[in-house]
Chain A
Amino acid sequence: MNNFTYYQPQSVAQALPLLENRWGRVELLAGGTDLLDRLKEYVSTPERIVSLTAIEGPFREISAIPQAGQPPKVTIGAGVRLVDIAESKLLAPYPALTTAAAQIAGPQIRNMGTLGGSLCQRNRCWYFRDTHIQCLLKGGRKCYAHEGENQFHAIFTQGHPCVIVHPSTLAPPLIALGATAQIVSPRGNRELPLEKMFQAPSKPDQREHTLAPDEILLSVTVAPNLPPGTRLANASYEVKQKVTSDWPLVQAAVAFAIEPGSQRARNVRIVLGHVAPTPLLSPEAAQELEGKVVTEATAATAAAAAIQGARPLSQNGYKVPMLKAAVKRAILLAAGFKPDWE
């Protein structure tokens, strides 16, 4: 890797002045499970690295505030490790999030990787990660995956020139749960729905998220606002080639409220992961389930709606039926049906 200057601020306030207002010369370091790889492959060549590892307090904590008649409002610091999310009792009402975190990579990654790193990591496209290849995201003229090796790339591209998939496994369940992101910069604090924090990049001055170069993700908050008397159902289902130490091929995360008595699903949110340049909300699938009782048939109808509009590339058509199955299984899992392994 290239030489760089290493800073280890003791607080977010100390870290902010070290950032710049353009990408490339400064990188943030949290768990390092993505950045170190990029440094060693010369995909990222910063002159300065600002480590967040010495920052304590809410940045590294999970806090929960009980809410009458609702699941607790939880705030997860961006510096919280993946293993701590997976094993947190405070997050027990949100199995979509904890099961997703528990299945990320392997224990070595989960012991170091953080929430912020998962959400802000760069994509895993092998053309992007190869220092010898000048793809669109590195100032080149073409996306090589379009006509090249694209078996792990997007099936929902919406005509976007770069066909990466967003690699975060935590983003889909968080978006399904209606999470918001808390962000800080020299200009102050801001908050936005988590789904607005992602974008499909196509140029070197764009990232897979919408944070400015001088912004830091502080935390993510989940605060369900369920209709009175309902209970929250949520689940994440992913399909992988290897059960451990691998990236999902597809992921589906769902969250909805279940009415007592009628058992109808309300406020349905279905998010598709690892199939598009951003985590993808599927209002079409949610609409098929809204107001209906979850059954095999209604789950299958919603799953069929989720794959409408998929335009697979030359080598990833397998993802379409796989995603349909993942959506159906996630819905059934959330509603309390027996898991597919029983």
Chain B
Amino acid sequence: MPEPNSAVAPLPVLAPRCMHLQSKAMAVHGEGFAADPDYQDGLTDYWCVKSARGIGPDLGPLGPEWCSDPNRSCYEEY
């Protein structure tokens, strides 16, 4: 069995999030989007597939941290 390559960071385990949150990195890289070299946490433009804009259907902000709240009225788990 080959040695694990310690230079390659393991893919992060993503917290549950809303299925409607989208970004360009997600569309290209799928669930591994956070490992994309161009991905910069806090600088990624997200949008909601339901509202088709940069705010949620409940008019709240978007992002992994905002769209991981199951108590949010528009949340639908991925």
Report if B70 contacts A (CB, 8 A): no
Report if A159 contacts B (CB, 8 A): no
Q: Which one of A101-109, A132-140, A190-198, A221-229 is at the B interface?
A: A101-109
Flag if B57 contacts A342 (CB, 8 Å): yes
Report if B64 contacts A (CB, 8 A): no
Sample (29) of A-B pairs whose CB atoms are under 8 Å apart = A86-B61, A87-B61, A95-B59, A98-B61, A99-B55, A102-B54, A102-B55, A102-B62, A103-B54, A106-B45, A107-B42, A107-B43, A107-B45, A108-B43, A111-B42, A111-B43, A243-B52, A243-B53, A243-B54, A244-B45, A244-B54, A339-B51, A339-B59, A341-B50, A341-B51, A341-B52, A341-B53, A342-B50, A342-B57
Report if A245 contacts B (CB, 8 A): yes
Flag if B45 contacts A245 (CB, 8 Å): yes
A-B contact count (CB 8 A): 41
CB distance from B19 to the nearest CB of A (A): 16
Footprint of A on B, CB under 8 Å? Answer: 42-45, 47, 50-55, 57, 59, 61-62, 66
A244 — which chain B residues lie within 8 A by C-beta? 45, 47, 54
CB distance from B17 to the nearest CB of A (A): 17
A107 — which chain B residues lie within 8 A by C-beta? 42-45
Footprint of B on A, CB under 8 Å? Answer: 86-87, 95, 98-99, 102-103, 106-108, 111, 243-245, 339, 341-342
Given the contacts A87-B61, A108-B43, A111-B42, A103 and B51 also touching, CB distance less than 8 Å: no
Flag if A99 contacts B57 (CB, 8 Å): no
A98 to B55 Cα, complex, angstroms? 10
A108 to B45 Cα, complex, angstroms? 9
Name A106's closest neighbour in chain B (CB-CB): B45
Secondary structure at the B interface, as helix, strand, loop or mixed, is: loop
A321 to B55 Cα, complex, angstroms? 24
B62 — which chain A residues lie within 8 A by C-beta? 102
CB distance from A93 to the nearest CB of B (A): 12
Name A245's closest neighbour in chain B (CB-CB): B45
Name B54's closest neighbour in chain A (CB-CB): A103
Given the contacts A341-B50, A341-B52, A99 and B59 also touching, CB distance less than 8 Å: yes
A86 to B63 Cα, complex, angstroms? 12
CB distance from B55 to the nearest CB of A (A): 5
A87 — which chain B residues lie within 8 A by C-beta? 61, 66
Q: Contact partner of B57 among A86, A98, A339, CB < 8 A?
A: A339
B66 — which chain A residues lie within 8 A by C-beta? 87
Name B46's closest neighbour in chain A (CB-CB): A107
A342 to B59 Cα, complex, angstroms? 12
B43 — which chain A residues lie within 8 A by C-beta? 107-108, 111
B55 — which chain A residues lie within 8 A by C-beta? 99, 102-103
B53 — which chain A residues lie within 8 A by C-beta? 103, 243, 341
A96 to B57 Cα, complex, angstroms? 14
A111 to B40 Cα, complex, angstroms? 13
* Besides A102-B55, A106-B45, A339-B59, 11 new A-B residue pairs in contact (Cβ under 8 A), listed by A number: A87-B61, A87-B66, A95-B59, A99-B55, A102-B54, A102-B61, A103-B54, A107-B43, A111-B43, A244-B45, A342-B57
A103 — which chain B residues lie within 8 A by C-beta? 53-55
A303 to B47 Cα, complex, angstroms? 28
A113 to B45 Cα, complex, angstroms? 16
A108 to B43 Cα, complex, angstroms? 6
A243 to B66 Cα, complex, angstroms? 19
A103 to B42 Cα, complex, angstroms? 15
